[in-house]
Amino acid sequence: MIAESGHYALVLALALALIQSIVPIVGARWRDAALMNVARSTALAQLLFVAASFAALVTLHVTSDFSVANVFENSHSLKPLLYKITGVWGNHEGSMLLWVSILALFGGLVAAFGNNLPLSLRAHVLAVQAWVASAFYLFILITSNPFLRIANPPIEGRDLNPVLQDIGLAVHPPMLYLGYVGFSISFSFAVAALLEGRIDAAWARWVRPWTLMAWIFLTLGIAMGSYWAYYELGWGGWWFWDPVENASLMPWLAGTALLHSALVMEKRNALKVWTVLLSILTFSLSLLGTFLVRSGVLTSVHAFATDPTRGVFILLILFVFIGGSLSLYAWRAPALKQGGLFAPISREGALVLNNLLLTTACATVFIGTLYPLALEVLTGEKISVGAPFFNFTFAPLFVPLLLAVPFGPLLAWKRGDLLGAAQRLMVAGIVALVAIAVVFAWTYGGATLAPLAIGLAAFVIMGALCDLAERIALFRIPLSLSLRRARGLPRATWGTVFAHAGLGVALIGIVCETTWNSEYIGSMKPDDVAKVAGYELRLDGLNPRQGPNFREMVAQFTVTRDGEKVSVMTPSKRNFTTRGASTTEAALLTRGASQLYISLGDTSADGAIAVRIYHKPLVLMIWWGPVLMAFGGMLSLSDRRLRVGAPKPAKAAARALQAAE
Amino acid sequence: MTLWFVFALMTVAAIFAVLWPLSRRGRADSGGSEVVVYRDQLAEIDRDMASGIIGAAEADAARIEISRRLLAAADQSGRDAPVTGSITLRRAAAVVALVGLPVIASSFYLALGSPRLGDFPLAERSQVADANQPLTNLVAQVEAHLEKNPTDGRGWTVLAPVLSRLGRYDDAVRAYRNAITYAGDNADRRADLGEALMGSAGGVVTADAKAEFERSVALNGDDAKANYFLGLAAEQDGRKADAAALWQKMLAKAPSDAPWRPLVQAALVRVGGVSAPALPDGAVAAAKDMSEADRGTMIKGMVDRLATRLKTNGDDVEGWLRLVRAYLVMGERDKAISALADARQAVGNNADRLRQLNEGLKSLGLDG
């Protein structure tokens, strides 16, 4: 009964979504308040039913009801409870159900907290949201139904892909989906604005927090996924420019641009048409990501699905929504009213530069990801576009961006003073030069670019701190007064400081890990000693151990440095009998921000085992950076104040202003 | 019954969600408007100035800008058409909810759902089939033992068929391969391996499986399992004649008490090597609606009638052959043999009929 009720709840959600797609639009057209309000109650009811459906699937997985095909194919009665739950979205059908659940959640949030939205805007937004939802409900019910049954249930399930049996699965996909799907709100707002033919202040006030929220989740989701790949896949790498990773990076880049342009819109009422376009593009890239991962176009750990009907269905959804929204944009955007004016050198100008660089970076990732696919479809030729392409295209775009980051917050709205900003950044520049000199001297004869990159990172971090120091007038007024001003600063300002500094922190991690990474790869027998980066690792022995649904071979290493015992590390290799698959569980030893990393390979006949040991200096900073960024985002999100950009009063010789768009 | 009640409740809740806002009067001004946002922004500037975050000059500039927007917005909202209500539209929406919603939901659900299937949580099932528990435990123990001693050929030999029976074909394949490696190659193991491969392919004799059966036959030309499945492979390839020839050869060579005889004979009947006992048309139609037991009784009755008829009129060779075939298909080999003896006796005085009978028996795989 649970399975069938869950199935029926999903069907009801589809029916409600269909009603929500049409009735509010009709209501908005004829200006009928009751019909427009239908959007609200149906969105909430839809959320209720999808949540019930999702809860039903979770229950089925927890109780190991193998009469449900999805449970049989992806679960096992001996799996620990946590993985029984996370296994719900560790497969194609379940993850799509999570996708629509989150979509319904966002729709429900707009419905519940959208009291201060104009009625017709809310009706349009929820209707657009329901279009997306209906398409995906149909997709789930027709091509990837998680509630299909088996009349004669087997005794035991086939177990979850062992690589996915990890705590990472509990966090990474929900975070990522919250990010992906969160952008659907800004998309719905954009399409609603185009349908209504106007963008008002309430629109701007709403879009930024939603974008920010989606962006925070996406940032954390990507960082989490990267860390998961780093410790679980056993390659010691944290980013591979794999198409699936790129699929999540593209919405992030576009979303970051959107975040900044939405800021201009909210504060200065400018860049409206551009923001609408970015909203559409960002969600389109999220859909594209869903397509790439879910259609089975790419064969990787992520591509659970290899069913062509699914691919065609998602492609259809993609065409309808991206094509439709862009056509609507081309048709209606000229009708939107233009926004405020600003000089090229101003906070707005800096944000436009940010947008240009981010969207170009996004475009290069787009080309690098899709060109090989397109080429394969057209000519059958297989090429792989890997790290070299992205290093040569992505890096040159990010260097000017990072150089510009500290300037942005120091420029005033409407018309800024570049020279003044540069003077205030003097300290940051000096620190950066010193950092370059020190690193260069320390690693003399090594990589030449690395010290420069470290200097850039120092500039970004110090730039963020300079901005803060400037605002609280540090060292210019008594310290106690400065501290009081610091407390009085808007949390959004603190958010900017943290997020921008996070960028620099991540850069330091990336540069150090890629440049000064040292490794030992070889085969070791018990009592052998490997030396890596000043550490000595002795293999004490290999012991088999029985886990709940796997058996593992655990190797024990004693780590010493200068004769002193530091710690014991126990990497292992797990064998999952049900799927006949094995995973490597790398052992990580954290020392400050650096890590020692051991991953096991195959055992040879003479009892030796292949071992890969890495020392990764400051590697953790790669993930601290995004965490800082997300923290900055949360600070900014918690700032409930309204935001108005206060321009500096025009001087006698006012500069020529130019139109925003 | 409970299930339909739950469905009905859920549907009612969904319909209610649509009807509820329709039943309420639309408030004249619900939701925020642009003007409100700008007023809030003006208030914020005052707060910011008071706390010293922006200077007085900046605050003035911002105020001017916001006021400008506020005026434009107030102007705009004055021109907007007032929110109205239309009874016809609301009624239409209500009808959509009352009719459309259940129709959409039930048409999708009835096409996709399985309302007759209850839940089968594992806890409940293992209480019923408690005997399964020790078996899986035993298997786990043997597997753990083999993990440590992977060269124990006897262990693999014991484990493999159990895994096969549990439906863990992929593991069974691995186990059989290990058994062959460590306990020696022989025709039986090859044939079993082929069968496990078939199992993992969902009952299709794949190229891999076929290769194993062929290896088994190479080791022992009389291996019954391998021969049978090679026949099945031929049948699945659509070469029914080859399948029939293979199976007839098997039956010809096999001892008369081989336990698999009925199976092969039934397969032979299936591919048309022998035609199944013909039944009167009416009987076939009647048999369709019967339960397994009833159908069995009916067939038995018909066979008995045939036997009685042949006792009084023994000249009907076709009838005798049909009777033998029927016994074989029903698995009653002894009766088939005694019927065979009766037939020989009955037609023994006519050389022509005897030859006809012997040829017919040969095609059934029974030696004349």
Residue B311 vs residues B144, B224, B314, B328: alpha-carbon distances, Å: 63, 36, 6, 19
pLDDT above 90 for B154: no
**Distance between CA atoms of A140 and A137, rounded to whole angstroms?**
5
B20 in reach of chain A (CB within 8 A): yes
Our separate counts of H helices and E strands in chain B read 19, 0
* Window from A35-39, A571-575, B298-302 with minimum mean pLDDT: B298-302
**pLDDT tens-place string over residues B43-92:** 877 877 777 667 777 788 888 878 887 887 777 666 555 566 678 888 88
| A458 alpha carbon, distance to own chain's centre | 25
With an 8 Å Cβ cutoff, are A4 and B51 in contact? no
Task: Specify the higher pLDDT residue, A635 or B122.
Answer: A635
pLDDT at A342 over 60: yes
Average pLDDT over residues A288-305: 65
Q: What is the pLDDT of residue A23?
A: 93
pLDDT number for residue A646: 52
Which of B61, B104, B119 lies nearest to residue A646, judging by beta carbons?
B61
Cα–Cα distance for residue pair A462/A440, rounded to 1 Å: 19
A384 lies within 8 A of chain B by CB: no
- Whole-angstrom distance, CA of residue A504 vs CA of residue A494: 16
Partner B, chain A 326-345, Cβ-Cβ below 8 Å: 340
**Which residue do the tokens 């916001």 mark?**
B66
Judged by average pLDDT, the poorest of A149-153, A234-238, A411-415, A517-521 is A234-238
Q: For residue B342, with 0-12 CB atoms within 10 Å meaning exposed, 13-18 middle and 19 or more buried, which class applies?
A: middle
Which residues are bridge partners to B84 per DSSP?
Answer: A32
* Contact residues, chain A, for B30 at CB < 8 Å: 33, 37, 115, 119
Q: How many CA atoms lie within 13 A of A40 on its CB side?
A: 22
Chain A residues 175-234 within an 8 A CB cutoff of chain B = 200-202, 205
A479-483, A555-559, B253-257 — which is least confidently predicted? B253-257
pLDDT band at A629 (very low <50, low <70, confident <90, very high): very high
Provide the pLDDT confidence category of residue A378 given band limits of 50, 70 and 90.
confident
Rounded to an integer, the average pLDDT of B8-17 is: 94
Flag whether pLDDT at A622 surpasses 90: yes
Task: Check residues A600 and B268 and name the one with the higher pLDDT.
Answer: A600
Instruction: Summarize the confidence of residues A61-69 as an average pLDDT.
Output: 91
**Length of chain A, please?**
661
Query: Per-residue pLDDT averaged across A387-400, rounded?
Result: 89
* CB proximity under 8 Å: B 55-74 to A: 57-62, 65-66, 69, 73
Percent of chain A with pLDDT strictly greater than 90: 45
Contact map slice: B 129-148 vs A, CB within 8 A: 129, 132, 136, 143-144, 147-148
Select the residue of A33, A145, A551 nearest B112 (Cβ to Cβ): A145
Q: Which residues contact B73 (CB under 8 A, 6 or more apart)?
A: A200, A201, B33, B34, B35, B38
% of residues, chain B, pLDDT over 90: 8
C-alpha–C-alpha distance, residues B183 and A427, integer Å: 77
Check residue B167 and report its DSSP letter. T
Q: Which residues pair with A596 in a beta bridge?
A: A589, A615
pLDDT at B32 over 60: no
Q: Is A470 on the interface with B (CB under 8 A)?
A: no
**Which chain B residues contact residue A67 at CB under 8 A?**
117, 119-120
pLDDT digits (tens, 9 = 90+) for A69-81: 999 988 888 888 9
- The phi-psi region of residue A338 (left if phi > 0; otherwise alpha if psi is between -120 and 50; otherwise beta) is beta
Long-range contacts, stretch A52-55, CB < 8 angstroms, 24+ apart = A52/A5, A52/A6, A52/A9, A53/A6, A53/A7, A53/A9, A53/A10, A53/A13, A53/A97, A53/A101, A54/A6, A54/A88, A54/A97, A54/A98, A54/A101, A55/A6
Residue B357: closest CA among B294, B314, B313: B314
Whether A645 contacts A267, CB under 8 Å:
yes
| The predicted structure's pLDDT at residue A138 | 95
Q: What is the pTM of this model?
A: 0.75
Q: Which tokens go with A632?
A: 């900055």
Residue whose C-alpha is closest to residue A157's, from A62, A86, A89, A54: A62
Cα dist from A59 to A5, B121, B139, whole Å = 12, 10, 28
Task: At B84, list the tokens.
Answer: 């109205």
Q: Are B17 and A489 a contacting pair at CB < 8 A?
A: no
Q: Which of A415, A617, A644, A631 is nearest to A517 (CA)?
A: A617
The residue among A377 and A105 whose pLDDT is bigger is A105
Identify the CA nearest to A146 among candidates A6, A17, A48, A302: A6
Mean pLDDT, to the nearest integer, of A619-624?
94
Mean pLDDT over A4-22 rounds to 95
Residue A474 has pLDDT above 70, yes or no: yes
Rounded to the nearest 10°, the torsion over CA B210, B216, B221, B226 is -50
Backbone angles phi, psi at A30, to 5 degrees: -100, 10
> Who wins on pLDDT, A645 or B9?
B9
Using CA atoms, how far apart are residues A370 and A19, in angstroms rounded to an integer? 36
**Given pLDDT bands bounded at 50, 70 and 90, which one contains residue B276?**
very low
Which three-class secondary structure state does DSSP give residue A579? Answer: coil
Q: Which residues of A touch B139 (CB under 8 A)?
A: none
For residues A201-213, average pLDDT? 83
B205: left (phi over 0), alpha (psi -120 to 50) or beta: beta
pLDDT at B277: 46
Element of type H or E holding A503: helix A491-515
- Surface of B (24-53) touching A: CB under 8 A: 24-27, 30-34, 36-38, 40-41, 44-45, 48, 51-53
Identify the closest residue of chain A to B167 by CA–CA distance. Answer: A154
Q: Which amino acid is at A223?
A: A
Closest approach of chain A CAs to the CA of B324, in angstroms? Answer: 36
Residue A92 and residue A294 in contact, taking contact as beta carbons nearer than 8 Å: yes
Q: Determine whether the interchain pair A35/B22 forms a contact, defined as Cβ–Cβ distance below 8 Å.
A: yes
Total Cβ atoms within 10 A of residue B295: 14
pLDDT digits (tens, 9 = 90+) for B131-144: 445 566 677 778 87
Q: What is the pLDDT of residue B125?
A: 67
Query: Which residue matches tokens 């177990």?
Result: A159
Q: What is the pLDDT of residue A304?
A: 43
Say yes or no to pLDDT of B281 above 80: no
Contact between residue A592 and residue A603 where contact means Cβ atoms under 8 Å apart: no
Asked whether A538 and A525 are in contact (CB, 8 A), the reply is: no
Q: Which residue has the higher pLDDT, A102 or A335?
A: A102
Q: What is the pLDDT of residues A166-199, one digit of tens each?
A: 888 888 989 999 999 999 999 999 999 999 887 8
Measured CA to CA, the distance from residue B221 to residue B238 in angstroms comes to 23
**The pLDDT of residue B155 is above 80:** yes
Structural tokens at position A210 = 């939603």
Of residues A438, A510, A427, the one with CA closest to residue A461: A427
A641 chain-B contacts, CB cut-off 8 A: 44
User: In the structure, what pLDDT confidence band is assigned to residue A644 with cuts at 50, 70 and 90?
Assistant: low
Q: Using the predicted structure, report yes or no on whether residue A234 has a pLDDT greater than 80.
A: no
Residue A621 has pLDDT above 80, yes or no: yes
How big is the CA angle at A638 (ends A636 and A640), to the nearest 5 degrees?
Answer: 100
Residue A267 buriedness (CB in 10 A; 0-12 / 13-18 / 19+): buried
Identify how many contiguous H helices and E strands chain A contains and give both numbers. Answer: 21, 12
For B192-221, how does the pLDDT look when each residue is reduced to its tens digit (9 = 90+)?
898 888 888 777 788 888 888 888 888 888
Q: What is chain A's mean pLDDT, rounded?
A: 86
A646 SS3 class: coil
Cα radius of gyration (chain A) = 27
Q: Does A577 touch chain B (CB under 8 A)?
A: yes
Task: Give the mean model confidence (pLDDT) for residues A262-284.
Answer: 88
A652: pLDDT confidence band, cut at 50, 70 and 90? very low
Task: Please report the pLDDT score of residue B26 as a whole number.
Answer: 52
For residue A396, the surrounding DSSP H or E stretch is helix A387-404
Higher pLDDT, B74 or B243: B243
Mutate: best of B41, B66, B135, partner A, most A CBs <10 A: B41
Share above pLDDT 70 across residues of chain B, in percent, rounded to a whole number: 83
Does the pLDDT value for residue B278 go beyond 60?
A: no
B278: nearest Cα among B238, B241, B329? B329
User: Over the Cα atoms of chain B, what is R_g?
Assistant: 40
Distances (CA, A) of A560 to A530, A589, B319: 11, 12, 91
Predicted pLDDT at A647 = 55
ipTM, two decimals, is 0.84
pLDDT greater than 80 at residue A136: yes
CB contact under 8 A, A115 and B32: yes
User: Is B98 in CB contact (< 8 Å) with chain A?
Assistant: no
Close Cβ partners of A391 (under 8 Å, ≥ 6 residues apart): none
d(CA B285, CA B111): 29
Which residues 266-285 in chain A show a CB within 8 A of chain B?
269
